[in-house]
Chains A and B, each alone.
Chain A
Amino acid sequence: MAKEFKLPELGENITEADVLTVLIKSGDTIEKDQTVIEIETDKATIEVPSTIDGVIKEVLVKAGKKINVGAVLFTVESTPSTENSPKTSISVPNVSKESKQGGSSISPAITVPSKGSAKVLSQEGSPSELHIVDFKLPELGENIESADVLTVLVKIGEMITKDQGVIEIETDKATIEVPSTVEGKVVEINIKPGDKAKVGSVILKVESLISNVKKESVLSKLPDETPLPFKPVGGSSAGEKKMEPGEIDDQPPILKHSAPAAPSVRRIARELGVDISKVPGSGPVGRISMDDVKTYVKKLNENREAFPPGGLGISREPLPDFTRFGSIERKPMSKIRTITAEHLSYAWNSIPHVSQFDKADITDFEKFRKSYGAKIEKAGGKLTVTSILLKVIAFGLKKFPQFNSSIDIAKKEIIYKNYFNIGVAVDTDHGLIVPVIKNVDMKNLTEISVELNSLAEKARTRKISLDEMQGGCFTITNLGGIGGTYFTPIVNAPEVAILGVSRGTYEPFYSDGIFKPRNMLPLSLSYDHRIIDGADGARFLKWVCETLQDPFKLFVD
Chain B
Amino acid sequence: MDKIKIAVIGGGPGGYAAAFLAADLGMDVTLIDKEKNPGGVCLYRGCIPSKALLHVAKLINEAKEASDWGIEFGKPKINLERLRAWKNEVVSKMTGGLGILSKQRKINFIQGTASFINSFTLKIGLISGETNELKFDKIIIAIGSVISTIPSLNIDSRRLLNSTSALDLPEIPKSLLVVGGGYIGLELGSVYNALGTKVSVVEMTPGLLPGADRDLVTYLSKRIEKSFDKVMLNSKVVSMKDSADVITIKIQAKDGTISESNYDYVLMSIGRRPETKGLGLENTKVKINQKGWVEVNKQLQTDDPVIYAIGDIAGEPMLAHKASHEGRTAVEHIAGHKVAFEPLAIPAVVFTDPEIAWAGLTETRAKEKNINYVSAKFPWAASGRATTLGRGDGVTKLLIEPETERILGIGICGPGAGELIAEGVLAIEMGTNASDLKLTIHPHPTLSETIMEAAEVFFGQSTHVYRPKR
Contacts and interface: CB of A to CB of B under 8 A. Distances in A.
A254 B348 CA distance: 15
A375 interface: no
Contact of B317 (A19, A250, A253, A267): A250
Interface stretch (A182-190, A227-235, A239-247): A239-247
Interface string B327-360: 0000000001111101111101000000000111
A107 B360 CA distance: 48
Interface string A248-259: 111111111011
Contacts of B292: 246
B342 A266 contact: yes
A18 to B, nearest CB: 6
A285 B433 contact: yes
B342 A254 contact: no
A380 B306 CA distance: 10
B361 A245 contact: no
A494 interface: no
B316 A254 contact: no
Nearest to B429: A263
Given A250-B319, A252-B342, A254-B360, A260 B408 contact: no
A460 B304 CA distance: 26
Contact of A262 (B314, B401, B431): B431
Interface string B381-419: 000000000000000000001001110110000000000
A305 to B, nearest CB: 24
A255 B371 contact: yes
B348 A250 contact: yes
Interface string B295-336: 110000000010000000011110100000000000000001
B361 A286 contact: no
Contact of B370 (A63, A245, A247): A63
B372 to A, nearest CB: 6
B69 to A, nearest CB: 37
A20 interface: yes
Interface in B210-251: 211
A285 B427 CA distance: 13
Quick one: which of B290, B316, B337, B358 has the most chain A CB within 10 A? B316
A250 B344 contact: no
A284 B435 contact: yes
Given A251-B361, A256-B401, A18 B372 contact: yes
B295 A284 contact: no
A100 interface: no
Quick one: which of B293, B372, B435 has the most chain A CB within 10 A? B372
A245 B316 contact: yes
Contacts of B316: 245-250
Nearest to B408: A254
B369 interface: yes
A288 B314 CA distance: 31
B401 to A, nearest CB: 7
A288 B435 CA distance: 17
Given A245-B289, A249-B316, A285 B362 contact: no
A21 interface: yes
Contact of B361 (A254, A267, A465): A254
A256 B404 CA distance: 9
B365 interface: yes
Given A254-B360, A258-B344, A244 B289 contact: yes
Quick one: which of A248, A271, A465 has the most chain B CB within 10 A? A248
Nearest to B348: A250
B469 interface: no
A273 B289 CA distance: 30
Given A20-B370, A254-B409, A267 B314 contact: no
Given A245-B293, A286-B404, A270 B431 contact: no
A245 B315 contact: yes
Contacts of A244: 289
Interface in A478-534: none
B430 interface: yes
A282 to B, nearest CB: 12
Contacts of A64: 370, 372
A287 interface: yes
B75 interface: no
A251 B369 contact: no
B428 interface: yes
Contact of B433 (A63, A270, A284, A465): A284
B295 A267 contact: no
B291 A285 contact: no
A370 interface: no
B289 A246 contact: yes
Contacts of A255: 369, 371, 408
Of the four ranges (under 10, 10 to 19, 20 to 34, 35 or more), the interface on chain B belongs to: 35 or more
A262 B365 contact: no
B289 A252 contact: no
Nearest to A284: B433
A273 B404 contact: no
Contacts of B319: 250
A261 interface: yes
Quick one: which of A251, A285, A288 has the most chain B CB within 10 A? A251
Nearest to A454: B336
B315 A246 contact: yes
A304 interface: no
A99 to B, nearest CB: 26
B149 to A, nearest CB: 18
A245 B360 contact: no
A249 B293 contact: no
A506 B82 CA distance: 85
Nearest to A258: B344
Contact of A287 (B339, B348, B362, B431): B431
Interface in B32-86: none
A337 interface: no
A463 interface: yes
A21 B430 contact: no
Nearest to A245: B315
B405 A252 contact: no
Given A245-B314, A261-B431, A251 B338 contact: no
B319 to A, nearest CB: 7
A533 B447 CA distance: 78
Contacts of A248: 211, 316
B408 A245 contact: no
A460 to B, nearest CB: 12
Contacts of A254: 344-345, 360-361, 408-409, 428
Contacts of B346: 250-252
Contact of B431 (A247, A252, A260): A260
Quick one: which of B369, B370, B409, B430 has the most chain A CB within 10 A? B370
A438 B38 CA distance: 42
A239 B315 contact: no
Given A64-B372, A244-B289, A465 B435 contact: no
B429 A271 contact: no
Quick one: which of A19, A256, A271, A288 has the most chain B CB within 10 A? A256
A285 B348 CA distance: 26
Contacts of A251: 317, 345-346, 348, 358-362, 365, 409
A61 to B, nearest CB: 11
Contacts of B404: 256, 260, 285-286
A260 B403 CA distance: 14
A249 B365 contact: yes
23 contacts: A19-B370, A63-B370, A64-B372, A245-B296, A246-B290, A247-B316, A249-B317, A251-B346, A252-B344, A253-B369, A254-B345, A254-B361, A254-B409, A255-B371, A256-B404, A263-B343, A266-B342, A270-B339, A273-B338, A284-B435, A285-B404, A286-B404, A465-B338
Given A249-B211, A249-B317, A250-B317, 6 more contacts: A251-B360, A255-B408, A270-B338, A270-B339, A284-B433, A465-B338
Interface of A: 18-21, 63-64, 239, 244-256, 258-263, 266-267, 270-271, 273, 283-288, 380, 463, 465
3 A-B pairs closest in CB distance:
A260-B431, A245-B315, A250-B317
